[in-house]
Structure 1
Amino acid sequence: MAGAMAAAAAGGMLLLLRRGRPPPGLGPAPRRYRYKEKWAATAPRIPPTRLALHHFDVTYSLQLRDQWPSVRAGLLCEQKYGALLNNFSAVRHVAQELELLNATDFVSPAPKKEAGRGDGVSPEGSGEGRTAARAETVTRAETSPPLRASIRSNIRCYTFPRGDITRFRPARPDTLGLLDYYLMDAASLLPVLALNVQPDDFVLDLCAAPGGKTLALLQTGICGHLAANDVSISRTKRLYQILHSYVPREIRETVRVTSYDGRDWGQLEGGTFHKVLVDVPCTTDRHSVMEQDNNIFHRRRTKERQMLPMLQLQLLMAGILATKPGGEVVYSTCSLSPLQNEHVIERAVEVAETQYNISVQVEDLSHFRMLFQDTFSFFSDCRLGELVLPHLTANFGPMYFCKLRRM
């Protein structure tokens, strides 16, 4: 009995030593015996996807109100894709194959709808629910020129009808090794259509990687010169892969691919381009709620996320400075956030006027809602530009795009 008590006492002293506590009547334990429980390193942390969803619940519920529950459900469900046909491949049989599956080219019906618009002015009431007065720094422009036939006849993108969740098969190479179509969020094509490239235009894709929009610009077949830039070397490699897989060598060699910091482009080649696409880094809302990897809501990336609107403004300003007078810029994100969308536009118009003495007009793109309402769900209360909302029956987006004209 005495031996058992002595063993228990010795065990208790050892436990105290391990915890860094001196036993009664003794001094501090030697440093080598001290032990600190590092519970913070092993305690469960909130994953970035949950942080993102909580942030969106707080902010987007105020912005979208009754629409937020359906948009939320769309963000958390499988994304819907479109198949951008590769005009450099033998696509005739591919189009027939897709049509047999009940997929349709959502761009082709645009000419008939445009013809039905008459003088091109948006019908009264098409902007219902929008804020009547825009910011004083934004000049309301005339309705943008309609989509030209040269673009509509060349770009073809097939989607399945609303509510149809059929998946496209993987792309296949033709006899020359070029893949027959590129799978992308079909809403990502809208900024390219809004850019409305004309024959022999000098075009800049300022944040080009991974390359879907660059590929779509090449599908028009009318770019006089195309520069594709992305600051990330690794993402630029992905752009090269896309060009190699879809574009013949003689065509892709005409594309100038660079890896400059896009914010410096206005100083590098100011006033050079007719059209500039500025598809900026953003919170990438769908990715943020679905994927842990490379998630901008990770706690280590908090400052980077908070600085996004400033980075977006700097990139948009570089795009404006890179255009010729009379040139056009399309700004786009895959976020629902007004801070990354309309507020960046308003600030850019103000900065262009006050710091560079450049007048910039915001173009009216409301006719896009009429042209593509059968394919996408648009947010009617977007103050500037257009916003595609995810929806379970048409789960594209989010995609925000706005067109500016340098006067």
Structure 2
Amino acid sequence: MFYSACRTVRLKPGITPTSCSCHTGRHVVLRLDEQGEAPSDQVNKRHKKEKVPCQPVLDHFDQQYGQELPDLWASTRSVLLNPHSWQYGVMLNRFTSATDVIQILQSKGFSRFLPQTDASALLCDAHSLASKSKCPAVNGLVLSPRSISKCLPDNFHPPSLGTSHAVSQDLESDTLPSLPCHSLQCYIHPYTMRFPTPAHRPGQLKQYYLLNAASLLPVLALQVRDGEKVLDLCSAPGGKALAIMQCATPALLCCNEPDPHRQEWLTKTLESFLPHSLNSRVIVSAQDGRCFGMSEAAKYDKVLVDAPCSNDRSWLHSGSSQRGDHRLKERVRLPVLQAQLLRSALSAVRPGGVVVYSTCTLSSSENYAVVETVLNDFPEAEPDDLWEEIAIPLSKYFAFGPAHPSRGQASHKPSLQSQNRTVSSYHHRLGILVVPQPGKTWGPMFLSRIRRRPQ
């Protein structure tokens, strides 16, 4: 049981959340029967339930994003309107043995998109793979072909294990020179290959977590190291907290979530993936995030603010027009809340520490404008340039939007080619934006890293 700063959250055994945000694989949930198969009626229901866009929200997006992303919006719009084109990542849990899962992923054409700490420890033995059946068991969970749905071209053939290794090595040597190696492992597929949700099994940690791989970028930008004190200010449902624990072993990770229902969900997620030995390091609190910086000023080395936002993926499929209209009214008020949370985070971080602010919306008013507003209030804070650190090395996998026009500078879309790494300016430093595009359907995801100057 993870400790709570305000109250203990007790959950009934076997309860597992059945829905989650767009960055945690909500649309790929498949419950498996005792033989590991997804019931046929469940698969059929998933295909029959087509998502219908909410017209008021779509009209609003057309007007706003048509102006903010004029060259990209048409292709982004087509991706957001087609959930069957969305890609999903599989983040492995380093606190369990996942060799069998890696073998399955690689045999299906998945590959890692981050440099690995110890390549020899992660590569699967080809002879071992060949000796297994086509549907190897994963701690008792059978992953059959029927439980993995695909949206692949007819002429696509998953690469062999050897090919996957060659591709992985090539990507690491040619396109990821500036990314540090670490223990976080996430596998992605070039097409819409969907992996089943791991079943809850009492007494066993889950081996992997499904998510939109773009949601890992704020965690990478945070650069957590062993022994640091880290605050996840808006932590539920817990995917980024899990990712932090895959990167390092902090002295303290405080996962803050004031909403009781979402805190219960967060606690269950942590219990499903982290061992009891980490109970003293990982705590759950329920403070108002806007006041956190006052109650725990300058206590943390790193702070993540994955702020509440107008989630473009889910809001576009809001259902009724009435609900869509309500959400659009909420959208106007969000930047004020987001700025309050970011100010609180900058107060909670120590001098010399860093804060990463992120959202899952394309909206400039919730992204660049919030960062710039708060920077004007904090002369002791300055933004870091993430363009060369993250955007250029990962441009093979993610599509990044144009730099935000700021302080009278004209908007332009800088090249992502390695020879143009000298491109850097204030409006790049405000943040980078992952824009869903055909073939690179990750995002939306905005991230900005702000450093508090040492005293």
Among 205, 210, 213, which residue is 1:183 paired with? 210
361-370 or 308-317, which deviates more: 361-370
Which position in structure 1 is the counterpart of 2:441? 395
Q: Given that residues 112 and 185 in structure 2 are in contact (C-alpha distance below 8 angstroms), is that contact kept between their aligned partners in structure 1?
A: yes
Map 1:31-180 onto structure 2 (within 5 A). 49-78=54-83, 79-108=86-115, 147-149=179-181, 152=182, 154-161=183-190, 164-172=191-199, 176-180=203-207
Q: Match of 2:437, as an amino acid?
A: H
282-291 or 271-280, which deviates more: 282-291
How far does residue 53 in structure 1 lie from its aligned partner after superposition?
0.9
Q: Distance in 1 between matches of 2:210 and 2:370?
A: 29
Distance 1:62 1:196, change over 3 A: same
Q: Match of 2:364, as an amino acid?
A: P
Q: Given that residues 400 and 435 in structure 2 are in contact (C-alpha distance below 8 angstroms), is that contact kept between their aligned partners in structure 1?
A: yes
* Unmatched tracts of structure 2, length 5 or more: 1-51, 118-168, 405-426
Q: Given that residues 288 and 296 in structure 1 are in contact (C-alpha distance below 8 angstroms), is that contact kept between their aligned partners in structure 2?
A: no
SS of the aligned residue for 2:384 comes to strand
How far does residue 169 in structure 1 lie from its aligned partner after superposition?
2.2
**Corresponding residue pairs, total:** 324
Which position in structure 2 is the counterpart of 1:228? 255
Q: If the length of structure 1 is used for normalisation, what is the TM-score?
A: 0.74
Q: Distance in 2 between matches of 1:71 and 1:104?
A: 24
Among 290, 293, 309, which residue is 2:317 paired with? 290
Map 1:154-303 onto structure 2 (within 5 A). 154-161=183-190, 164-172=191-199, 176-292=203-319, 298-303=324-329
How far does residue 109 in structure 1 lie from its aligned partner after superposition?
6.7
* 1:311 partnered with 2:340: no
SS of the aligned residue for 2:353 comes to strand
Q: Match of 2:450, as an amino acid?
A: L
Q: Distance in 2 between matches of 1:391 and 1:57?
A: 16
Distance 1:257 1:193, change over 3 A: same
SS of the aligned residue for 1:99 comes to helix
How far does residue 302 in structure 1 lie from its aligned partner after superposition?
4.9
Which position in structure 2 is the counterpart of 1:342? 368
How far does residue 253 in structure 1 lie from its aligned partner after superposition?
4.7
How far does residue 380 in structure 1 lie from its aligned partner after superposition?
3.0
SS of the aligned residue for 1:54 comes to helix
State the identity %: 37
How far does residue 179 in structure 1 lie from its aligned partner after superposition?
1.2
Q: Distance in 2 between matches of 1:107 and 1:270?
A: 34
* Unmatched tracts of structure 1, length 5 or more: 1-46, 121-145, 354-358
How far does residue 221 in structure 1 lie from its aligned partner after superposition?
3.2
SS of the aligned residue for 2:315 comes to helix
How far does residue 63 in structure 1 lie from its aligned partner after superposition?
1.1
How far does residue 296 in structure 1 lie from its aligned partner after superposition?
10
Q: Distance in 1 between matches of 2:75 and 2:329?
A: 30
> Which whole-Å deviations, capped at 9, do the CAs of 1:317-362 have from their partners, x for residues lacking one?
0000100000000000001011000010110110113xxxxx1111
Which position in structure 2 is the counterpart of 1:379? 401
Distance 1:155 1:174, change over 3 A: farther
Q: Distance in 2 between matches of 1:61 and 1:182?
A: 34
> Which whole-Å deviations, capped at 9, do the CAs of 1:213-253 have from their partners, x for residues lacking one?
01111112321110000121111111011112111122245
> Which whole-Å deviations, capped at 9, do the CAs of 1:281-329 have from their partners, x for residues lacking one?
0100111112338x99633455432110000000000000100000000
Q: Match of 2:114, as an amino acid?
A: V
Which position in structure 2 is the counterpart of 1:364? 385
SS of the aligned residue for 1:168 comes to coil
Distance 1:387 1:297, change over 3 A: farther
Q: Match of 1:394, as an amino acid?
A: K
SS of the aligned residue for 1:179 comes to coil
SS of the aligned residue for 1:65 comes to coil
> Which whole-Å deviations, capped at 9, do the CAs of 1:65-99 have from their partners, x for residues lacking one?
12111000111111321001011111122112111
SS of the aligned residue for 2:235 comes to coil
SS of the aligned residue for 1:287 comes to helix
Q: If the length of structure 2 is used for normalisation, what is the TM-score?
A: 0.67
How far does residue 148 in structure 1 lie from its aligned partner after superposition?
3.5
Q: Match of 1:56, as an amino acid?
A: F
229-238 or 175-184, which deviates more: 175-184
SS of the aligned residue for 2:442 comes to coil
Structure 1 runs (4+) deviating above 6 angstroms are: 109-118
